[in-house]
Amino acid sequence: MLNLDVSMGLVRVTEAAALKSARLIGRGDKIAADQAAVDGMGKAFEFMPIKGTVVIGEGELDEAPMLYIGQKVGMWEDYMPEMDIAVDPVEGTILIAKGLSDAIAVVAMGPKGSLLHAPDMYMKKIAVGSKAKGAIDINKSPKENMINVAKALNKDIRELTVITQDRDRHQNIIDDARELGARVKVFSEGDVTAVLACGFENTGIDLFMGIGGAPEGVIAAAGIKCLGGEMQAQLVPHTDEEIKRCASMGINDVSKIFTIDDLVKNEDVYFAATGITDCPFLEGVAFSKDNIATSHSIVMRSKTGTIRFIEAIHDLNKSIIME
């Protein structure tokens, strides 16, 4: 019973963040949207039946008043499990501010010690869904990985779709894909959403490659692990200060290749997300008259392989989270 309570509790956490921030869609204020999500998520965590510690959050204690690294969340009763928590109250604050697709509220959770404490810096990542597991190698070229993933999926290379962020640093990925004849989809923000899209066949996305945030990489790894997929990663520090930051977090070899089991070290992890705006696998929050809202969420658990899609109708007049 506790596991179901935990799963549904996580959904309520991401729902709260999504509902609060969705009021600010298209209003041009990414800071206010993020703060609204943090407020909603923080309040919802008070009702979670866990002893949780934020290991990936909004920053250090002196950088963030809530959901900071090291913060204790949950109800903290003696019988409750100790859990690592990784949060991104809004993945894609710019997307909300501009009213664009692919913004989500997301949480990953696992037993204490299970989530890599990733420093806030860049990380190179490659990911696929379950049917291409074993076909990727971050040390190989983008072209080699595309060919190998296409073979694993029994697809002609022209049927392969690669997703990468629309940044100059990824031009080699785009060039390689086009030279091979593969399809390319670029996104502006939000690589957790892009990685997760590889895990669902109906999105049409086969392979993720690119460099993005390391904390988001751990959250994405939890999600793709729940989906049975694979991810590899490598930190990309740019300064001596970032290298020192890695060492302070116990990462002495900055060239280390992280497997999905390095990023998420336990086989019993949870992942939940709620759409704020529409994304490839979730609809965004929709408001109707009389302060009623509809949300769409996903919650997954790697141990059981359970994937739940949850549509909820919220009477915001009665919600203590929305106060």
Q: Are strands 51-56 and 82-91 parallel, antiparallel or unpaired?
A: parallel
Summarize the confidence of residues 55-83 as an average pLDDT: 86
- Residue 61 confidence (pLDDT) above 60: no
Q: Tell me, what's the pLDDT at 317?
A: 87
Q: How many CB atoms lie within 10 A of CB 108?
A: 30
Instruction: Indicate if the pLDDT at residue 1 is higher than 50.
Output: no
Percent of the chain surpassing pLDDT 90: 82
Could you give the angle at which helices 30-45 and 2-22 cross, rounded to 10 degrees? 150
Residue stretches of the annotated binding site: 34, 58, 88, 91, 216
Summarised one tens digit per residue, pLDDT across range 259-286 is 999 999 999 999 999 999 999 999 999 9
Q: List the beta bridge partners of residue 272.
A: 107, 299
Q: Convert 238-262 to b/e letters by CB count within 10 Å (16 or more is b).
A: eeeebbebbeeeebeebeeebebee
Confidence band of 321 (pLDDT split at 50, 70, 90): low
Indicate the annotated binding residues for Mn(2+).
Answer: 34, 58, 88, 91, 216
- Per-residue pLDDT tens for 164-188? 999 999 999 999 999 999 999 999 9
> How do strand 183-187 and strand 161-165 relate by DSSP bridges?
parallel
pTM comes to 0.94
Q: What is the pLDDT of residue 2?
A: 52
3-state SS string for the chain? CHHHHHHHHHHHHHHHHHHHHHCCCCCCCHHHHHHHHHHHHHHHHCCCCCEEEEEECCCCCCCCCCCCCCCEECCCCCCCCEEEEEEEEEECHHHHHHCCCCCEEEEEEEECCCECCCCCCEEEEEEECHHHCCCCCCCCCHHHHHHHHHHHCCCCHHHCEEEEECCHHHHHHHHHHHHHCCEEEEECCCHHHHHHHCCCHHHCCCEEEEEEEHHHHHHHHHHHHHCCCEEEEEEECCCHHHHHHHHHCCCCCCCCCECHHHHECCCCCEEEEEECCCECCECCCEEEHHHEEEEEEEEEECCCCEEEEEEEEEECCCCCCCC
Q: What is the mean predicted confidence (pLDDT) over 106-110? A: 97
Q: What is the pLDDT of residues 210-267, one digit of tens each?
A: 999 999 999 999 999 999 999 999 999 889 888 888 888 888 888 899 999 999 999 9
CA-CA-CA-CA torsion for 310, 164, 132, 226, nearest 10 degrees? -30
pLDDT in the model for residue 320: 67
Return the higher-pLDDT residue of 3 and 312. Answer: 312
Kindly give, in sequence order, each residue whose CB lies less than 8 Å from that of residue 189, ignoring residues fewer than 6 positions away: 91, 92, 94, 95, 102, 103, 165
